[in-house]
Amino acid sequence: MAADSKHMRTSADIADHAGTNPVVVRRVLGKLREAGLLTSEKGHAGGWRLARAAQDITLADVYLALDERLVASSPNDDVPTCVVEHRLQNKITAVMEEIERSLIERLSKTNIAEVQDIPEPSHG
């Protein structure tokens, strides 16, 4: 999709290329559309395409649009009764949040056009 941002791609084509289920692909594409990263058109000639140039979409944009954090800890509803456990939990949460911020910062330095230029690993 990044190679030819003007060409429409169907979710079935994208799923086939990715080796996954079109239903899963449509769910992901929908999130990317909601974030303004993709546009879609219905009909025979319809499909999906980038909403803006590939060099203007960072990996952080995609990561945040999918809203599936890799690092951030989930809040624990159980309030520890032990002071040490409470402090430890707070410290771990702070560290995890810092890791998440650092990840997003790193992802923001690479756009999807750059990813397209990365050579495929050889399987041999």
Segments making up each domain of the chain, as ranges: 11-116
Q: Return the pLDDT at 103.
A: 96
Q: What is the pTM of this model?
A: 0.78
- According to DSSP, residue 36 is labeled T
Taking 50 as the pLDDT cut, the residues of the chain under it are: none
* pLDDT reported for residue 44: 85
Q: Write down the architecture of domain 11-116 according to CATH.
A: Orthogonal Bundle (1.10)
59-94 pLDDT per residue, tens: 999 999 998 888 766 666 677 788 998 899 889 989
Give the whole-angstrom CA distance, residue 41 versus residue 70: 31
* Max Cα–Cα distance, the chain, nearest Å: 63
H-type helices in 1-124, by residue range?
Answer: 11-18, 22-34, 59-66, 83-107, 112-116
What is residue 55's predicted lDDT score, i.e. its pLDDT? Answer: 93
**pLDDT for the residue 4:** 60
> Cβ–Cβ contacts within 10 Å for residue 38, how many?
21
